[in-house]
């Protein structure tokens, strides 16, 4: 079984990468994510997934 702490570390790494390389505004802050989606690991994963989709949409718009 995967350790929840390791999952949190992996999601944090993905979040930091999105914050550094994706357009501003595609990913809400951690506090905002907790309010919008919830505090669980899957809630963070959903926010990250939506940020990736938003980035692709912004980059592929004509």
Average pLDDT, the chain: 96
Q: What is the pTM for the complete model shown?
A: 0.91
Distant-in-sequence, close-in-space partners of 18: CB < 8 Å, separation ≥ 6? 26, 27, 48, 51, 52, 55
Q: Are 15 and 43 in contact (CB under 8 A)?
A: no
Kindly state the average pLDDT of the residues 14-43. Answer: 96
Tokens of 51: 């940020």
pLDDT at residue 29 is higher than 90: yes
């Amino acid at each position: 079984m995967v350790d929840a702490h390791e999952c949190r570390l992996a999601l944090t790494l993905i979040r930091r990468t999105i914050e550094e390389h994706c357009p501003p505004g595609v990913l809400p802050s951690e506090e905002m994510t907790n309010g919008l989606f919830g505090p669980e690991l899957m809630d963070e994963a959903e926010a990250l997934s939506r940020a990736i989709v938003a980035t692709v949409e912004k980059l592929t718009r004509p």
